[in-house]
Amino acid sequence: MADTAATIRAYHQREERYQGLQLDFDGTAALKSRILETIASVSNQRGLSPILNHYGNASIYIEFHDDYDRDGGEFFTELLERLGIDRCESC
């Protein structure tokens, strides 16, 4: 897991009812697949459907709009934990 965390950089953005998390990585297909599988797993477990945007082969942006109950924060915390990332670059 530590190797994965070293190759993924996370950037968090939060406004009043909006939260976003950008994951930048080395662009390898295996790592992208692992990230997407982890997002799907957390989504299924929590019953949430964040918006996903792919920027090229090396960046995924996950966002929640109208996040009244602040579920996005817990989602992101669990996602980062499962990916072995202990901090964001901009948190």
Q: What's the rounded mean pLDDT across residues 61-89?
A: 85
* Rounded distance between C-alpha atoms, residue 50 and residue 39, angstroms: 9
The DSSP symbol for 71 reads: H
Pairing state between β 51-54 and 59-64:
antiparallel
- pLDDT tens, position by position, 3-56: 565 689 999 887 777 889 999 999 999 999 999 999 999 999 999 889 999 988
Q: What is the pLDDT of residue 33?
A: 95
Residue 79 is given by DSSP the state H
Q: What is the dihedral of CA 5, 15, 42, 88, to 10 degrees?
A: 10
Residue 2 pLDDT more than 90?
no
